[in-house]
């Protein structure tokens, strides 16, 4: 009977040993994989600044390569241009590529810079975008961090101590104690850990939304800086043209006055309008310099040599023609709204995690110990395995769980209000951009007619002045109306482009492809 009992015990020990060995093998393999992953991540993070810049540029170049392929595909599918025009465009693009490669140290592009090329330069230059890219990579590690709370935890410990007794009893001898331990802990049922894992995944999504938001923000900032320079340059062009026209009118009026056919009042009236334009030119040049500074800070190169819009640009309201549709698109795709939505989810998961503090949890525990000491007495080598389950039932922890639940619930309500506020703000911006597009289209068409009418009116007033029907004041007023209409037309065109980009931006779908569409309007 004793032999049968010992055989059963030995078989049980062998079974436990094999089970423990297989479990530990799996755990060590997982631990080795995680360690290797963490080691690679750490080695990657400890690169020098030169390696960091190289890494950033490689990612950016990959994105720019996608841009280039997209543009090439678009150009190949465009059947509106003839073969000769395509050859010219290819030659021009090759020339630009060589010029960009040999760009001078003054950061002044030796060729007209377009909108897409400005965006490519900004990707390489903008510190905010580079920081967001590294932030995204950091958030990608949160998924593994969260998974670690559900995987086994293995720890090993070696304790070597020397015991030298002073005046001990005879059975206490000085010796060196050696203890080796390996412990395994695996959560089997723990709602708190499950919700904690969900929070890590939510934080990963939040980091991704921050990156997407920064990328879209860079797109709109580049477009704003580019259009600010264009608007300032064109405004100066209009003022210079107006100055030249008024200068000619002033010379003509001075000749008439000297000949006795004009009045001193008309001369001073012409001088007044001429000097007023000169004062406007001073302010316009200051505004242009500010636009250059903004462009350089955003893109990294000078904006003094950029392409201008063609005389005619396509005017359209983005399809579908429904503000509500674009609002719904914004809720689904706007990265900042999704950021607030994920923040709300995080707080809701925090509430669940706080509630789970009241619930029991079960974990699997296993360990191995090899020691030669017990209660300060040296013993022969003692080796033992321990395998079992641990049940933890929280009863009372000073009210912490109740207070934590209340805190998390109120934070969740605050996050919900923040999310609703941002949705309302974004809906308002989408509505403003959409209505702005429709209004700008009508305004541009009306102002184009106004410019044509002002041209005809100016010609008529000049003929009337020569025939004595009109005065010089009438001619100068006609000049003023013409150039006022031209300035308003420029503002309406740039307002239309910015409202179009603003609609895509607030809807969360602004990308390099939308920028490439606008880029085709440049000459």
| pLDDT tens per residue across span 300-312 | 998 888 999 988 8
Residues 483-498 have pLDDT tens digits of: 999 999 999 999 999 9
Residue-level pLDDT at 376? 76
In 3D, which of 362, 363, 379 has the Cα closest to residue 371? 379
Evaluate if residue 258 carries a pLDDT over 70: yes
pLDDT at 174 over 90: no
- The b-or-e profile of 120-150 (16+ CB within 10 A means b, else e) is bbbbbbbeebbebbeebbebebbeeebeebe
The DSSP bridge partners found for residue 306 are 113
Three-state SS sequence of 85-101: HHHHHHHHHHHHHHHHH
Instruction: Write phi, then psi, for 370 (nearest 5 degrees).
Output: -130, 115
What is the DSSP secondary structure assignment for residue 318, as one 8-state letter? P
Whole-number Cα distances in Å, 272 to 241, 459, 487: 17, 22, 20
Mean per-residue pLDDT for 20-33? 47
Q: Quickly state the pLDDT bin for 107 (edges 50, 70, 90).
A: low
The residue that leads in pLDDT, 92 or 448, is: 448
Please tell me the predicted confidence (pLDDT) of residue 327: 95
Q: Which residue has the higher pLDDT, 14 or 459?
A: 459
The CA–CA distances, whole Å, from 403 to 194, 239, 256, 398, 409 equal 21, 68, 91, 10, 10
Give the residue extent of every domain in the chain: 152-189+360-393
Specify the pLDDT at position 11: 52
Residues whose CB falls within 8 Å of the CB of residue 109, separated by 6 or more in sequence, listed in order: 99, 100, 103, 117, 301, 302, 305, 306
Q: What is the pLDDT of residue 8?
A: 46
Predicted confidence at residue 14, as pLDDT, reads 52
What average pLDDT does the segment 89-111 reach?
Answer: 48
pLDDT of residue 34 exceeding 70: no
Q: Which fold has domain 152-189+360-393?
A: Outer membrane efflux proteins (OEP) (2.20.200)
d(CA 40, CA 46): 10
pLDDT above 50 for 349: yes
Q: What is the pLDDT of residue 26?
A: 46
Q: Would you state the pLDDT for residue 120?
A: 92
């Amino acid at each position: 009977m004793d032999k049968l009992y010992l055989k059963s015990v030995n078989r049980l020990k062998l079974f436990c040993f094999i089970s423990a060995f297989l479990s530990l093998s799996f755990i060590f393999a997982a631990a080795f994989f995680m360690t290797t992953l963490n080691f690679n991540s750490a080695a990657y993070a400890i690169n020098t600044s030169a390696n960091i810049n190289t890494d950033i540029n490689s990612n950016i170049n990959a994105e720019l390569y996608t841009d280039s392929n997209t543009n090439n595909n678009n150009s190949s599918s465009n059947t509106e241009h003839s073969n000769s025009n395509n050859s010219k465009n290819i030659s021009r693009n090759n020339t630009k590529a060589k010029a960009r490669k040999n760009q001078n140290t003054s950061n002044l592009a030796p060729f007209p810079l377009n909108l897409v090329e400005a965006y490519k330069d900004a990707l390489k230059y903008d510190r905010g975008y580079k920081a967001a890219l590294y932030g995204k990579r950091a958030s990608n590690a949160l998924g593994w961090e969260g998974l670690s709370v559900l995987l086994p935890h293995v720890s090993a410990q070696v304790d070597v101590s020397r015991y030298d007794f002073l005046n001990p009893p005879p059975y206490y001898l000085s010796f060196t104690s050696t203890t080796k331990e390996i412990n395994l802990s695996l959560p089997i049922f723990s709602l708190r850990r499950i919700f904690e894992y969900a929070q890590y995944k939510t934080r990963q999504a939040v980091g991704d939304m921050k990156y997407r938001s920064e990328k879209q923000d860079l797109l709109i900032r580049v477009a704003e800086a580019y259009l600010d320079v264009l608007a300032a340059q064109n405004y100066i062009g209009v003022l210079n043209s107006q100055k030249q026209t008024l200068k000619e009118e002033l010379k003509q009026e001075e000749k008439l006055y000297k000949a006795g056919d004009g009045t001193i009042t008309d001369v001073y009236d012409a001088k007044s309008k001429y000097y007023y334009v000169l004062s406007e030119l001073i302010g316009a040049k200051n505004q242009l310099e500010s636009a250059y500074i903004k462009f350089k800070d955003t893109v990294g190169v000078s904006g003094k040599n950029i392409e201008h819009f063609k005389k005619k640009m396509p005017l359209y309201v983005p399809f579908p023609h429904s503000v509500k549709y674009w609002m719904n698109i914004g809720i689904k795709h706007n990265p900042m709204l999704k950021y607030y939505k994920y923040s709300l989810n995080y707080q809701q998961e925090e509430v669940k995690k706080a509630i789970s503090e009241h619930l029991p949890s079960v974990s699997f525990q296993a360990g191995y110990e090899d020691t030669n000491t017990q209660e300060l007495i040296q013993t022969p080598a003692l080796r033992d395995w321990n395998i079992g389950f641990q049940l933890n039932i929280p009863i009372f922890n000073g009210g912490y769980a109740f207070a934590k639940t209340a805190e998390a619930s109120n934070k969740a309500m605050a996050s919900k209000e923040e999310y609703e506020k941002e949705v309302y703000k974004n809906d308002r911006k989408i509505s403003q951009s959409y209505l702005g597009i429709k209004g700008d289209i009508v305004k541009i068409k009306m102002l184009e007619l106004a410019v044509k009418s002002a041209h005809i009116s100016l010609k008529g007033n000049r003929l009337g002045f020569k025939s004595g029907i009109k005065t010089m004041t009438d001619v100068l007023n006609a000049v003023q109306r013409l150039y006022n209409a031209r300035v308003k037309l420029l503002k309406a065109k740039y307002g239309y482009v910015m409202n179009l980009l603003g609609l895509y931006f607030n809807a969360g779908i602004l990308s390099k492809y939308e920028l490439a569409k606008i880029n085709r309007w440049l000459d």
